[in-house]
């Protein structure tokens, strides 16, 4: 399907017309025009407000994987110690990225559907003494929202840099970069911001900038060239004016709604989705309600069905959801109620279709 009548994929989400219209303007060169740099600075300020930080904010042209790789390659040196907190594909993947640059990586894996044990985390921090700790706020493939705020003080006390992926949570759940001591915060445009997958955001603390100076990494995804680029009016590469114009509309729309109102909208649609799922006799992947994500719900494939069969049946009704990856491939399907899709009417329609399909 080129378009979805009932879009409930966990990203990229449906992009509202008002954001798409920003791409219809024939903008000039982002390298040359002061107007572009003013727009970029405004977007950075809006992101600081949404992410609750005074840290530097870079906005780069490319999908979110750009900053996942760039953050680690720019701050992790060979033989550095990295502790990867993992209860899903992306948590483990951050560790694998660190390994690829020569770091000594230790994985702290949680039980299925749960977050890591804090006592075990403390022992690992004390014994391993990592230079960097990585974590994922919303682990999209498993539908989990991890309690970053609860472990943040432990990581801060350890002295390690804290790198957190909040690609699928920011805007739909509370993210507190400064309060949680996040040195490198990772965000993409295609989830709760309801934009095309063409911009990636990185928050960078002073400690992270120092780590980047020490690493001295040079590459297309390097962080250091973006330091104060908007003030110098010198970009490391030609930027995407159209995407930044759309982001500006999205960020203003989110703040006009109000962050707390957005969090409530996501929470209410997620709660409704989970209640309908369990009423159908289906099983959620999250073992505890407290870590079930407000932006995506992961559901175990029902008995008698395979993922391809369920996917095909839903598509016959114009509904698109997501499968999963890695160890959960073929075992879990995911309902994306983030950004524009955190809409009660849309989720209700999707749940009606799912129930009808299961009863056919």
Q: Is 207 helix (H, G, I), strand (E, B) or coil?
A: helix
Residue 296 within a domain: yes
What separation, in Å, do the N-terminal and C-terminal C-alpha atoms of the chain show?
A: 22
Please tell me whether residue 250 adopts helix, strand or coil conformation: helix
Residue 146 and residue 231 in one domain: yes
In a domain, 124, yes or no: yes
Helix (H, G, I), strand (E, B) or coil at 201: strand
Residue ending a domain, among 198, 229, 255, is 255
- 267 and 310 in a single domain? The answer is yes
Same domain, 222 and 158: yes
320 in a structural domain? yes
Q: Please tell me the total count of domains within the chain.
A: 2
pLDDT along the chain (360 residues), means of 10: 96 97 97 96 98 98 96 97 96 96 97 94 98 97 96 98 98 98 98 98 98 96 94 92 98 98 98 98 95 97 97 98 94 98 98 96
Q: Residue 10 is part of which domain span?
A: 6-14+258-359
Same domain for 37 and 163: yes
> Where is 164: in which H helix or E strand?
strand 161-165
Query: CATH no. for residue 83?
Result: 3.40.640.10
What CATH number should be reported for the domain holding residue 284? 3.90.1150.10
Quote the pLDDT of residue 360: 85
In a domain, 1, yes or no: no
Question: Are the C-beta atoms of residues 295 and 9 closer than 8 Å to each other?
Answer: no
In this structure, the number of other CB atoms found within 10 A of the CB of residue 38 comes to: 11
**Are 28 and 77 contained in the same domain?**
yes
Residue 285 covered by a domain = yes
Same domain, 129 and 198: yes
> Between β-strands 184-188 and 6-7, what pairing exists: parallel, antiparallel or unpaired?
unpaired
Do 312 and 240 share a structural domain?
A: no
Claim to verify: residue 122 and residue 145 sit in the same structural domain: yes
Domain boundary among 255, 286, 311: 255
> What's the CA gap between 169 and 304, in Å, rounded?
32
User: Is 76 part of any domain?
Assistant: yes
**Domain final residue pick, 203, 233, 255:** 255
Query: Which tens digit of pLDDT belongs to each residue from 270-303?
Result: 999 999 999 999 999 999 999 999 999 999 999 9
Asked if residue 21 and residue 10 are part of one domain, the reply reads no
Residues 43 and 171 grouped into a single domain: yes
What 3-state class would DSSP assign to 334?
strand
**Structure tokens, 29:** 């060169």
Angle (nearest 5°) at CA 164 between 160 and 166: 165
- Say if 333 falls within a structural domain: yes
Residue 307's pLDDT is what? Answer: 98
Under DSSP, the state recorded for 137 is S
User: Do residues 51 and 96 share a domain?
Assistant: yes
Both tokens assigned to 113: 């559907």
Q: Are residues 234 and 265 both part of a single domain? A: no
């Amino acid at each position: 399907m080129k378009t979805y009548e009932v879009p409930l994929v966990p990203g990229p989400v449906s992009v509202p017309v008002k954001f798409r219209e920003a791409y219809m303007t024939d903008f000039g060169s982002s390298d040359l025009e002061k107007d572009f740099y003013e727009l970029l600075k405004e977007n950075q300020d809006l992101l600081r407000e949404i992410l609750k930080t005074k840290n530097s904010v870079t906005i780069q042209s490319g999908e979110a994987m750009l900053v996942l790789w760039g953050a680690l390659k720019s701050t992790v040196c060979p033989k550095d110690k990295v502790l990867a907190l993992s209860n899903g594909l992306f948590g483990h993947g951050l560790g694998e990225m660190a390994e690829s640059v020569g770091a000594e990586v230790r994985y702290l894996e949680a039980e299925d559907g749960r977050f890591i044990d804090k006592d075990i985390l403390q022992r690992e921090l004390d014994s391993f003494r990592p230079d960097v700790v990585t974590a994922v706020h919303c682990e999209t493939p498993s539908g989990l929202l991890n309690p970053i705020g609860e472990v943040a003080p432990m990581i801060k006390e350890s002295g390690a840099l804290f790198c957190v992926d909040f690609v699928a949570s920011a805007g739909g759940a509370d993210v507190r970069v400064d309060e949680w001591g996040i040195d490198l915060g990772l965000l993409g445009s295609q989830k709760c911001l309801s934009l095309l997958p063409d911009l990636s955001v990185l928050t960078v603390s002073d400690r992270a900038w120092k780590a980047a100076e020490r690493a001295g990494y040079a590459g297309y995804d390097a962080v250091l060239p973006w330091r104060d680029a908007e003030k110098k009016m010198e970009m490391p590469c030609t930027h995407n004016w159209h995407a930044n114009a759309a982001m500006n509309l999205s960020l203003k729309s989110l703040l006009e709604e109000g962050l707390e109102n957005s969090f409530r909208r996501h929470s209410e649609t997620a709660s409704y989705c989970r209640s309908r799922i369990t009423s159908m006799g289906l099983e959620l992947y999250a073992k505890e309600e407290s870590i079930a994500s407000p932006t995506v719900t992961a559901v175990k494939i029902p008995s008698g069905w395979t993922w391809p069969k369920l996917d095909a049946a839903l598509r016959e009704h114009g509904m698109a959801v997501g499968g999963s990856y890695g160890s959960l491939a073929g075992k879990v399907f995911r309902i994306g109620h983030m950004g524009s899709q955190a809409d009660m009417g849309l989720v209700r329609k999707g749940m009606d279709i799912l129930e009808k399909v299961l009863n056919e």
